[in-house]
Every structure is written in C-alpha cells, then in structure tokens.
Amino acid sequence: MNEYRQSRDEDRGPMDEDLLRRVLGAEADRIEPAPGALPRIQHRIQTGDSGRARPGWWTGLRRSRRRFWVGGPSAGNGLGPSPAGPGVRGPATENGVGGSAAGAGRRRWADWSPLAAGAVTVATLAVAVVGVGLAGSIVPTPSDRRTGPPAGVLRGEPSGGPAASPAAPSADVQPGLTPPGAPVPSIGSTSGTATTASLAVYYQGGDPNRPRLYREFHRLWLRDGSAADRITAAVRNLLDGPTGMDPNYLNAWPVSTDLRGVSVSGGTATVDLAGAARNEVGEAAARMAVQQLVWTVTAVPGVSGVRLRLDGTPVDRLWGTVDVSGVLRRGAAVEVLAPVWLIAPQQGDTVGRTFQVHLAGILPEATAQLRIQRDGRTVSERTITLSIAGPTQGEYRHSVTLPPGRYTLTAYAISLADGREQHLDDHVIEVR
C-alpha cells in the first residue's frame, strides 16, 4: 500500500471541492502519459476493448497491486507504468538507466479506488493534450516525488518498428552494438539532458509447473548511461508490475519488493532488494523468479553475474527453496527459456502493412507453427522450420503483408505424442 493511500485511509471524512481536486491531481500525477497514446485510447473506447488477459495460475500472484492502463502499449510511444509500463518493440540494445540510488523517486502502481478512477479520467485528458500538442516527442510527466528525470516510464520502439533489427534472442543486443561482456559504452548527451533506451526485461510464463522465461524490450529513461543505471532502470521496471506488455508474461517477485541499490564491479552486479524476504509462489516459480532477475541484469553489456543482497545483507537462501549464495549466473537456455517464443512483433505493436515476424524456439524437431487471425478468423497458418533444432535455440524470420486491421499472431508447437497445440505465445497487434 503506498503512503498516499495510507494517509487517505487514515483521514477519511467529508471531502470539500478543493481537497477532492488535490486528491485527483495527485493520483493523476502518478500516471505517465506519452505521445502516441491518444489513438489507442480512442480505439479502445470505440471497440470496448480493455486488453487481453487469460486467467490462469498467476491470478493470485500479485493480488494486492492493480495497474492503470491509460492508452495501453503503443509502438511509437507507449504509456507505461510508473517506473515503466508496457513497452518497447522489437530487439534493441539492453541499455537503460535509473541511478545508483535505485529506490529514490520511484513510483509504484496505485491501488484501484474511486478516486483513482477519477484520476484516470484526468490522466486521459492529459494524454490527449500531450498527444496532440507534443506528437513525436518524449516528455516526462512532472512529479512531486521525483528530483530528476523519470527512471523508466516509457515503453515503445523508436520509429521504424521491430522488423529492422535481426538480433538473435540469445544475444540481447542489436547488431553493431556492444555485446554482453564488452566494456560499457557511454550513453546520453553531454549536456546531461535525459534520454531513453530499450532494455530487455525477462518474465516467466507457460506451464505453471515448468515456467519458462520470455523477454520484452521496454523503452526506459536514461540518466548517465552506466551499467548500474541501466540495471537500475530494468530491475525497477521488472518489479513495478505483475506482468509485461503481454498479460501472460508474469513477474513472480513479491509485490512488496523494492530496489534499494545497484553497484557493478568486475562484470558482477550487486543488487540490493528490500521487501523480498517472503514469497507465496511455488518452488518452480521461485527458482524462475531468480532467473528473471539474473537474465534481466546480465542483459546489460559488461555484466555476466549477479550478487543478491536483502536489505544490504548477503543471503544464501531465498524463500527457503532457492540457493542464491555467491555469484548467480544465467541458467542453461534449454532449461530456462521458452520452448516457443514470438519475439516480434511484441504485444500491442503497431506495424506497417509489410512487417517481419521473428520467432525463436528450442524444439527437438525444429518445427513450429505460426497462425494469424483477425476477428477470430484464421487468415494464415503455416508450419515453420527453425534455424536449428534443440537443445540450441533456433530462430525464424518471415516477412508478412496484411491489410490494415487488428490481428492476433500465435506461435506454438504441436505435440508429437498426441497432436495437441502447446507452448502457445500470442500477441495482438495493429496493422496500419
């Protein structure tokens, strides 16, 4: 529960017009509008669509937190959660920024309330103003809880979309940029003004008994461009919401978890968390939650290992089940990454009529399926062959041309045992 909500609960009573105005204004300031969100708001109003979400094993995972989705994800400049909302489109460098004082100034998702509902209306108007008056620019929303640029509020690929980047999913970098383990390049302007970058954030999904990791790229605010800043931004983004842009990509860390700080030395990042001592998820989700953190942190160039701290103190065992002593490394891809993974377009992307579909998978027979549907009707279905069979992760890229409209792309595999569809990963996109 955030401190504003606490004070509001403690001081309930008659609310005059001025107080109501201030309350709604405070709630509205907690929402980060961005250019490009207005068309998506209008589309959802016209269609009555509130987003795609399939109920499943994660329903109670982070029950105490509710997200405001104002405008939803968009390809150009999406609206995101407070440190970061739904986000970036397609492979890009995993560089982002927060700041070494990781916890400072970070916004949390507000719990839903009638006042918050009013704030959403106010924020919607703000989106309209920003979208009409500042189209094409990236503007942080003022906040009385921040002393510097927002660290992780935008999600959206720069113009050009995801099809332009043929980066391999295991590489986590765009061609021509610094690969993991190399020296960290300087990022940001010499004048010190805030800029943004796309960072990789890993989530878990799939079979609840054997969850696996999926990656999304989220556009987040940069400060000084150091490895610690990028890790700070990515981890804040991971912790500040129950899902990614895709509502089936889940964050299994406790809702109470906060990032206290990040430091980097010799290729190892030390990540200090608070509020993470207890977690109600099962053992499989707990182990994958640790891998979520490790893969997200080590996606930053120059970082290959993670040391975990809780409230500043080293910890050997997390949640009674996961060994987190020493330096944590990425688990083997075949044991950690999703068997079938629709990399691009990402959930909520807006693409041109001709765009590239990018899949990855770890399948023994290297064969997967790609289905494209519009309004529940299948317009295309094909069997695809990945570049290599498991246990190595293979890839597939294919250019698709479609008329304008709203489509669902689904990548999946067919069970050799009984012919069932399995390992489904589906994204809803707009073709313009």
Per-residue pLDDT reduced to its tens digit, 20-37 = 566 566 555 555 544 444
- Ordered DSSP codes for 338-396: -SEEEEESPTT-EE-SEEEEEEEE--TT-EEEEEEEETTEEEEEEEEE-SS-TTSPEEE
Q: Check: CB of residue 89 under 8 Å from CB of residue 217.
A: yes
* Cα within 13 Å of Cα(371), Cβ side: 15
pLDDT at position 22: 60
Q: Which two tokens stand for residue 269?
A: 């990042």
| Secondary structure (3-state) at 53 | coil
Contact criterion met (CB below 8 Å) for 118 and 24? yes
Q: What is the rounded average pLDDT of the residues 270-284?
A: 94
Given a contact cutoff of 8 angstroms between Cβ atoms, the answer to whether 298 and 305 are in contact is yes
Region 245-259: what's the mean pLDDT? 96
φ, ψ dihedrals at 177, nearest 5° = -105, 170
Does 212 or 182 have the greater pLDDT score?
A: 212
Q: Which residues pair with 261 in a beta bridge?
A: 272
| Cα three-residue angle 330-224-185, rounded to 5 degrees | 60
b/e 302-324 (16+ beta carbons within 10 angstroms → b): bbbbbbbbbeeeebeebbeebeb
Q: Which residue has the higher pLDDT, 64 or 377?
A: 377
pLDDT, residue 18, reads 59
Separation of alpha carbons 342 and 2, rounded Å: 35
Mean per-residue pLDDT of the chain? 71
Q: For 323-344, what is the mean pLDDT?
A: 97
SS3 content of the chain, % helix, strand, coil (to 5): 20, 30, 50
pLDDT band at residue 41 using 50, 70 and 90 as cut-offs: low
Distances (CA, A) of 185 to 22, 93, 174: 43, 11, 14
Q: How far apart are CA 57 and CA 209, in angstroms?
A: 10
Q: Output the CA–CA distances (angstroms, integers) from residue 155 to 63, 82, 97, 316, 404, in the order listed.
A: 24, 11, 13, 34, 23
Task: For residues 250 and 388, give the distance between their C-alpha atoms in angstroms, rounded to a whole number.
Answer: 28
> How large is the average pLDDT for residues 374-390?
97
- CA-CA distance, 350 to 328, in Å (whole number)? 37
- For residue 194, what pLDDT is reported? 73
Q: What is the pLDDT of residues 217-246, one digit of tens each?
A: 999 998 889 999 999 999 999 999 899 999
pLDDT at 100 over 50: no
Enumerate residues 6+ apart whose C-beta is below 8 A from 376.
none
- CA 297 to CA 94: how far, in whole Å? 9
Helix axes 3-10, 17-29, angle to 10 degrees: 160
User: Which pLDDT does position 121 carry in this prediction?
Assistant: 41
Residue 279's nearest CA partner among 289, 271, 270, 269 is: 289
pLDDT above 70 (res 172) = no
Encoded amino acid at 406, one letter: R
Please report the pLDDT score of residue 308 as a whole number. Answer: 98
pTM: 0.63
Instruction: Please report where in the chains the tokens 């399939």 appear, as a residue.
Output: 54
Q: How many CA atoms lie within 13 A of 240 on its CB side?
A: 30
User: Strands, DSSP E only, in 175-266?
Assistant: 195-205, 212-222, 258-265
* Local structure of residue 145 (DSSP, 8 states): T
Average pLDDT over residues 291-299: 98
Number of residues written out for the chain: 432
Q: 263 by DSSP, 3-state: which?
A: strand
Would you say residue 129 has pLDDT above 70? Answer: no
User: Which amino acid is it at 379?
Assistant: V
Tell me how far apart the alpha carbons of residues 300 and 341 are, in angstroms, rounded to a whole number.
21
Among 364, 362, 375, 377, smallest CA distance to 411 is for: 362
> Dihedral through CA 36, CA 203, CA 180, CA 223, nearest 10?
50
My answer on whether omega of the bond before 391 falls inside 30° of 0, hence cis, is: yes
Whole-angstrom distance, CA of residue 351 vs CA of residue 208: 32
Residue that wins the pLDDT comparison between 237 and 11: 237
Q: What percent of the chain is modeled with pLDDT above 90? A: 52
Supply 392's token pair: 């190595």
